[in-house]
Amino acid sequence: MPLKQLKVSDLNFALLDEGEGDPVLLLHGFPDSHTVWRKQLPALLGAGYRVIAPDLRGFGASAKPLEVEAYAIPNLIGDVAGIMDALELATAHVVGHDWGAALAWGFAAFMPARVKDLVALSVGHPASFYGSAPIAQREKSWYMLLFQFPNAEELLAANDWQLLREWGRHHAHLEHAIAAMSPKGALTAGLNWYRANVNPTAVPVEVPPVDVRAMGVWSDGDVFLTEESMTGSARYVNAPWRYERVNEASHWLQLDRPELVNALLLDFLRNEDR
């Protein structure tokens, strides 16, 4: 599908914008782009939704600022609002995965009037991750420390991306992600999301509870996030909360179990009382 080009805050953004009707905004994570939603697009478009799936700042065909601080969550929230403004969308259903889920939580917390409802895949509310993360979660997050090192790019790309291949061995379309990370500066831009927001020497942005209806979906094969970090999000949702567990799927559950994930998405979006 052809991509649109938008300028937001002097940065260029590429995004997929297809269909008519109620808008659904899809936010991807690392090391992906809008294409990680390839298996959700037919279901959402077929159900009559308008689907907006941007390449977020630092990824895909969108702008890749050099400064680490450019990737701080407040700037990313501004990107989402700016994209919606440019498309003249007052509100949207917001669905996020990985970093896109963390961004979706922040957007819903700080700009609730723009969010009809929220679906977070894999990543729970930041306060649940930081405030109640057990030792098991900290062990699973080892790579976040690795990504802080100045030579992380060299380590990840060495020997035909051996370390990144091991890290993302469960990613169904890892070769596509590696190809997108290969151009000069692309990997650094992706890592800057970690460097700007989970640097162990920095104080993380405090994200308040959200006041919009939300669903969290976690997969039993996720090697990066614990189930508790998602289920604990219930404490930070001041609205109806729904939790779903997807079995036999990796961290990239929308690629591994698309039929089930699509069914959960459509059921949630259609049933505002659940």
d(CA 208, CA 125): 9
The fraction of the chain above a pLDDT of 70, given in percent, is 98
- Distant-in-sequence, close-in-space partners of 265: CB < 8 Å, separation ≥ 6: 40, 43, 44, 95, 119
Bridge-based pairing of strands 50-54 and 92-97 is: unpaired
**pLDDT band at residue 30 under the 50/70/90 scheme:** very high
Quick one: what percent of the chain has pLDDT higher than 90?
90
For the residues 115-143, what does the mean pLDDT come to? Answer: 88
pLDDT tens-digit readout, 5-26: 999 989 999 999 999 999 999 9
- At 107, the amino acid letter reads F
Taking CB atoms within 8 Å and a gap of at least 24, the contacts of 100-104 are 100/26, 100/27, 100/28, 100/29, 100/56, 101/27, 101/29, 102/29, 102/73, 102/126, 102/197, 103/27, 103/56, 103/73, 103/76, 103/77, 104/27
Q: Domain segments of the chain: what residues?
A: 4-140+205-270
pTM for this prediction: 0.97
pLDDT of residue 114: 98
CATH 3.40.50.1820 at 4-140+205-270, yes or no: yes
Sign of CA dihedral 197, 172, 161, 219: positive
Model pLDDT, residue 162: 98
Dump pLDDT digits (tens) for 166-223. Answer: 999 999 999 999 999 999 999 999 999 999 999 888 777 789 999 999 999 999 999 9
- For residue 157, name the pLDDT band (cuts at 50, 70, 90): very high
